[in-house]
Structure 1
Amino acid sequence: MPPNYAAAVRGRRESARNMMILALFAAALALSARPPAASATAMQPAATCLRRCGNIDIPYPFGVGAGCHLETGDWTFVLSCNRTADGLLRLYNYQIEVLDMSVRLGQLRIYSGINPWCYNATTRAMNSQNNWWYNMSITNFRINDAQNRFTVIGCNSLAYIRSLNDTTDTYMTGCMSMCPGVDRLEDGSCAGVGCCQTAIPGGLNAYRVSFEQNFNTSAIANFSPCSYAVLVEAAAFDFRTTYVTTDAFMADNAGQVPVVLDWAIGNQTCEEAKGNASAYACVSADSECVDSKYGKGRGYLCNCSAGYEGNPYLLNGCQDINECEDSRFSYPCSVPGSCVNTIGSFYCACPDKTTGNAYNGTCEGKKTQIGWQIAIGVTSGAVVLIVTATCLYIIHERRRLEKIKSDYFKQHGGLLLFEEMRSRQGLSFTLFTQEELEAATNKFDERHVIGKGGNGTVYRGTTKDGEAVAIKRCRLANERQKKEFGKEMLILSQINHRNIVKLYGCCLEVEVPMLVYKYIPNGTLYRLIHGAAPRIPFTLRLKIAHQAAEALAYLHSWASPPIIHGDVKTSNILLDDDYTAKVSDFGASTMAPTDQAQLVTLVQGTCGYLDPEYMRTCKLTDKSDVYSFGVVLLELLTCRKALNLEELEEEKYLSSQFLLVMAEDRLEDILDEQVKGEQSLELLEQVAELAKQCLEMISEKRPTMREVAEELARLSRLSQHPWGRQNSEEILALLGGGSPSTASEIELNTTPNVSFSDTGYIGIRSPR
């Protein structure tokens, strides 16, 4: 290193310091010229404000009482401290206890109540349950999705958590805890036996918890009298088997557990907030503004700049860190006594009459010119060595990434697919690379999202050939599904039916494979029948039902091997430009091969469509699809949703409500008014009778999908009799002129989608 290195560094530091002094002087003149009303001191707390409650510090912008917290137009940062009673710190007017808060992370930890559901020995039944809800719907609080988990404890207990956000989209998820036997319970394990957990989405500020009453019964009262459902900080929860067999979960935690919240300032972006100097919260001179991670309109946070620490919401709140003396940091220079602290940084300088590298070398006495030449040569060699090592590292990393992609490709059966594609002439299937799909979706930009669900996210994309496609980016797959994926893709690639969405190909060089489908432009059947009036004519409804039944019959009877869809619902039936039905999502995230003797480990599907026999026996069969299709027929007849959580318990499920009116011979009470005006009651009764047969509780009594398709073909022809037929122009007129909708192409979460496992829904069974 050159002998004048330290002097040059000191010179640059002095020059930078002089420039900083001039800049601060200019800034001071500019601030002195502002009117007093624009001063940021209006947002500062009074000197008498309480800054500690019990053993909890209260950093600004939080505060207790007027003038002690940041004013943002709501009560977000107001706390209360009852020092004369329980000595607890609480969140504004709610009785919510605060554990701690972090200015640096923008987080707040509070206590959330545990929701119990217990057997009552007096009434010999489970206690009535309320829909427990927790509302944090104040502008700047969000429930942290990364650190919290929805947790269910108990035996045969199924519970849901549902968002209460003031939006048109409602999120609902849940999980089911089973108890095969007391010997299967294990401390610390929350994987479905006695305890289960599931993730929640980001951005929630309110939620409701409820149990499914058909699961937990008095049969397990002596073994597990209570079940519990709660949103809890994952790091603060450790499962114990006594939580299932005793009331230890409530007792040990005093009925409440920690939850992590995120907070932000106001509802503006950093750029917008800086335009109003009197309200801008980042008042420390050495602070920076960071937009909220929840997106535009969700506020911002303030951080101290690099080399500073403290509270950026206070004047002069960010102070320089003395890296040379602070015991929290290791000494930054390799030579003792060589560290020199500067404002916001530091540098390492060798003492007088010495030279060398105080950062990562040694300081020695001055050498002769030959010595310096040697030193320069050594330094140059070190630079060459570092550059060479850097290049080798980059090459190594590239090769490592390529190996990871290659391993994923082999793991997912890519070699099998490749060999079959090469040996079979005319097999239309493409193996996409990760780079191709990133280019098609602009690196999976959120603006390309056309659907989200429990198993993944669907993006609209355009391939390099100009083909519009829907790309499903799945979330998770287990080891067995990864190994079988290539073989199952080969089976699905050969499915060629005009009423099934075409699978173009897949990407196997990523951890969880991505699926590429044909893009269907006209939305879902769910949106068509539950959207804005006027509703579609009944003749068109029967036509769509017949086409969907033909597709399922093809999967059950003619695919080799036969395929069970596993998640039949109106939001998985897409519509082409001419309203031709296209059954979708039969590939799900991955596929699980099964046969009629094999049990699935976790029941999965969509509430309202699930086969009761499947939920009871854990056997997924082709008759499970028949039951779900029966619910689809009910939606077409009634224009009511399969599951309505706002209704009473006996009217929550459309299938239960339908079977009740059929038993009482009151079919007309549940039919859609438009349908009654279009068709004869005799025809509608025949369709209803077909739906009733599909909804038989015992699967063996249900018809096959082939029989359902044939009956729908007959009813469809009957509905088009001259005195009831409407021509295609009239149908298109009722649909708004016939122009195709450009709404959501693949809608994964239109109805509440409850995923008890992040695996897919489809099953492939062995040929009979």
Structure 2
Amino acid sequence: MVLKFAYIKVILMIWCMYPLTSAQYLDETITSSQYENMTIARPGCDRKCGNVFIPFPFGMGRENCYASSWFEIDCRNNNTTTNSSGEQKPYLKYIDLEVKFIDLWNEALIIMNPIYQSGKNCERNKTGGINLKGGSPFVYSARYNTFLAVGCGNTASFWSNGEEVSGCASMCNGDDLIKVDNCRGRKCCEASLPRYLSEYNVSFEGQECAYGLIIAVRLGYWNLTIKDVKHLNEVPAVLKWEIPFDTFYSNISFFRDPDIVSCYDTYLKHSLNNSSQSSGRRCHCRYGAPPANPYIRGSCLGEKRKTRVRWAIIGVSSSLGTILLLLVLWWLNKFVRKNIEKKRKEKFFKQNGGLLLNQKLSSGEANVDKIKLFTLKDLDKATDHFNINRVLGKGGQGTVYKGMLVDGNIVAVKKFKVNGNVEEFINEFVVLSQINHRNVVKLLGCCLETEIPLLVYEFIPNGNLYEYLLGQNDELPMTWDMRLRIATEVAGALFYLHSAASQPIYHRDVKSTNILLDEKYKAKVADFGASRMVSIEATHLTTAVQGTFGYLDPEYFHTSQFTEKSDVYSFGVVLVELLTGQKPISSVKEQGLQSLASYFLLCMEENRLFDIVDARVMQEGEKEDIIVVANLARRCLQLNGRKRPTMKEVTSELESIQKSRKQSASQEQHDAGIDECQFWSVISPTSNLGETSDSKASTLEIMPTHPNH
């Protein structure tokens, strides 16, 4: 697969050495000569616009030159001051985007994607988004593209299908000469795209002019600075394409030659909904490698004939010497295999931070007495070769798979996205090795002999708190007692991290999706990739703000100084989620993005607490308890970190509420039992029939009565 995409990488690496002309860009690609000597267009149709080759199913001119209107190319004269020669350039006519290259064999399309602006002091305000829905055969490639937001002190949100799918925040420190691939949150930030994106919009929160763009930066070096972006109208992006079924069967005739052309179903328009229904088709020649256009009759047949001749020559030239040479190579390969495998493991060990980990171990920062070193073979078998059906979840740090070890134990295996930076992997390993708490997910072991490092945890079966709050039903509801218990367990875990661990630990990403629920629905705090161990009384100063929108401490955002009170703020948001059952960030058409924490504090100020509290909480909880918990959440959400309580105080208050509820429930049961005894003492057949009514009355007066009677 890497070889198949090699020439796309060459294209973008050359292109990203900005600025280059279209002619320079095409002359240096290895695909130009391949297109030059093959049949790429239907008979009588133009095969080139300017310096860009137009292979069928794309085409220009007559209707039979392209498969459908989505594939029609408009070849325009570009008479501008920067291009006085009037060079022709191709545009996708249906969506009016310039085309830079069409990849026939991997169904990739490089286009110039517009940059969107919003805010004050913008040279031009351009809002809205590209819509590739409604039968379009195109989607944005999540592998080669990324979303960039450029601006000072802005929060950018990336929307698709009416939902926020990604976002990031930038700070104002730095200058306009920072390169966009190295901004690290300084005047620009980046976020990954969802798979199979067909439409999007960008929104910003901030006072300054902000720029949002989808750009193909992952295939090569991009030399643009923030200053350059502000003066551009468009940047390169990669689209994936397929041939929709109606177009395939009505305008493509090669399906009559199944012995020459192989076709298969594609799922570009249904993968977002996890649907197994295909949305189109793709094809390739059965014989030989590119160049050959499988969508042109006879192109693959010519390649087949060439392949037969080639194999005949190889067969004639084969000899006993070749066989002997192969035998020697086989024995040589067998001899050196062990040495190669050893060096390979050593390479991955160093690459994945093995030396850094050894340094941590020797310094006593990590405790690995009970940590097991797994082999790649064990984990590959446990996860069914890391099957996509075993994926439990994906995040910014990596992907988590469900696995079963040979001893029958169910585990969760996390494959990190290190990209040469193993700090988060080593950090999570060291932090979790220090923790031994019933409400913190347990680290079982790791594997460093792979290209991508792996961590192995205990398996937590019932998902996370966020999913459970939003997806609860009458069969297994989230009761008030469960919410109190979960809040108390999470608070206790954070109190342990801050105060009772061998060295204070700041989690730095407390949120409901990082709170897992085990088989008894007890809370387990997870995801310690962003956590830090600090010395007592010290704060943690960061160069780039990390966290999740809706949970991020405003004080930390403005000062870049993370303290234990920043975790307290994030926990306050989780506490509000438990009270209200609402999302931390919601979208209101009239108001845009709405923070749950801000809305909650507004309701508290306006004495409208019970307007936002979840209906089940109102039904099951005592109003006094709800008010106490709400006031605790409000204290946790104080803008001034010094005014927030510690996690020890939070834990103590929650435990006190739980204890009072248990005592109240026990008293009610006790009083109910006394009432029942009182009733039977009056009508018991063992009582003396000759007893006077006065004696019975005196008996009732001695018996204590229920406070409600």
- Residue 496 of structure 1: how far off its partner (Å): 2.4
Query: Which residue number corresponds to residue 229 of structure 2?
Result: 249
Deviation string, structure 1 residues 419-452 (Cα, Å, up to 9, x no partner) = 989999xx43222222211111011111111111
- Structure 2 residue aligned with 1:391: 334
User: 1:502 aligned to 431, 442, 454, which one?
Assistant: 442
Partners of 1:623 and 1:702 within 8 A in 2: yes
1:200 and 2:180 matched: no
Give the AA of the match of 2:130.
Answer: Y
Letter in 2 for 1:678: E
Which stretch shows the higher mean deviation, 94-103 or 380-389? 380-389
Contact kept? 1:195, 1:239, Cα under 8 Å: no
Supply the AA of the counterpart residue of 2:145: N
Distance of 2:119 and 2:524 partners within structure 1: 45
Q: Quick one: which of 53, 57, 71 aligns to 1:77?
A: 71
Asked whether 1:404 is paired with 2:347, we answer yes
**Aligned residue number for residue 493 of structure 1:** 433
Partner of 2:486: 544
Give the whole-Å Cα distance in 2 for the aligned partners of 1:512 and 1:349.
Answer: 40
Q: Which residue in 1 is equivalent to 2:242? A: 264
Distance 1:349 1:539 in 2: 77
Q: Deviations over 1:659-693 (max 9, x none)?
A: 11211222222222332233343332221111100
Q: Is the 8 A contact 1:520 1:575 kept in 2?
A: yes
Residue 300 of structure 1, aligned match among 281, 284, 291: 281
2:203 aligned to which of 196, 203, 210: 210
> Contact between 1:289 and 1:300, CA under 8 Å: does it hold in 2?
yes
Shift of 1:613: 0.8
Shift of 1:552: 1.1
Q: Considering Cα pairs closer than 8 Å and 6+ residues apart, tell me whether 1 or 2 has the greater RCO.
A: 1
The aligned residue for residue 345 of structure 1 is: 310
Q: Secondary structure at the match of 2:659?
A: helix
The one-letter code matched in structure 2 to 1:554 is: Y
Distance 1:612 1:264 in 2: 45
The residue number in structure 2 matching 1:154 is 151
Query: Unmatched 5+ residue regions in structure 1?
Result: 1-43, 121-125, 219-225, 324-340, 351-356, 361-375, 728-768
Partner Cα distance (2:504, 2:452) in 1: 24
Check the 8 A contact 1:286/1:308 in 2, yes or no: no
In 1, the alpha carbon distance for the partners of 2:323 and 2:124 equals 79
Q: 1:728-764 CA distances to partner (integer Å, 9 max, x unpaired)?
A: xxxxxxxxxxxxxxxxxxxxxxxxxxxxxxxxxxxxx
- List per-residue Cα deviations over 1:32-70 (Å, max 9, x = no partner): xxxxxxxxxxxx998565655566443221245644433
Q: Give 2:444's aligned amino acid.
A: Y
- Residue 656 (structure 1) shift: 0.8
CA drift of 1:416 comes to 6.3
Partner Cα distance (1:159, 1:100) in 2: 30
**TM-score (normalizing by structure 1):** 0.69
Tell whether the 8 Å contact from 1:149 to 1:200 is kept in structure 2 after alignment.
Answer: yes
Aligned counterpart in structure 1 of residue 165 of structure 2, from 161, 168, 172: 172
1:231 counterpart SS class: strand
Match of 2:212 in 1: 229
Deviates more, 1:386-395 or 1:634-643: 386-395
Amino acid at match of 2:658: S
1:60 aligns with 2:56: yes
Q: Which amino acid aligns with 1:404?
A: K
CA distance in 1, matches of 2:229, 2:244: 38
Aligned pair count reads: 606
Separation of aligned partners in 2, 1:58 and 1:645? 43
Alpha-carbon distance between aligned partners in 2 of 1:725 and 1:110, rounded to the nearest angstrom? 72
The aligned amino acid for 1:59 is P
Distance 1:130 1:687, change over 3 A: farther
Q: Secondary structure, in 3 states, of the residue corresponding to 1:608?
A: coil
Structure 2 residue identity aligned to 1:172: V
Distance in 2 of aligned mates of 1:566 and 1:504: 22
Aligned residue runs from structure 1 range 301-340, under 5 A: 301-304=282-285, 305-306=287-288, 309-318=291-300, 320=302
Distance 1:663 1:109 in 2: 53
8 A contact 1:603–1:615 mirrored in 2: yes
Higher mean C-alpha deviation, range 676-685 or range 688-697: 676-685
Contact 2:555 2:639 in 1 (8 A): yes
Measure, in 2, the Cα distance between the counterparts of 1:308 and 1:383.
Answer: 28
In structure 1, C-alpha distance between the alignment counterparts of 2:490 and 2:366, rounded to whole Å:
33
User: Hey, what's the Cα distance between the residues in 2 that align with 1:722 and 1:280?
Assistant: 78
Name the % identity.
Answer: 34
Give SS of 1:710's match: helix
Please identify, of 341-350 and 434-443, the stretch whose mean Cα deviation from structure 2 is larger. Answer: 341-350
Matched, 1:518 2:511: no
Which stretch of structure 1 is more off in the superposition, 58-67 or 412-421? 412-421
Partner of 1:633: 575
> 1:512 Cα shift?
4.7
Using the alignment, how far apart are the partners of 2:609 and 2:533 within structure 1? 40
**Range with bigger deviation, 700-709 or 639-648:** 639-648
- RMSD of aligned Cα (Å): 4.2
1:288 aligns with 2:270: no
Residues 1:47 and 1:399: Cα distance change in structure 2 (over 3 Å): closer
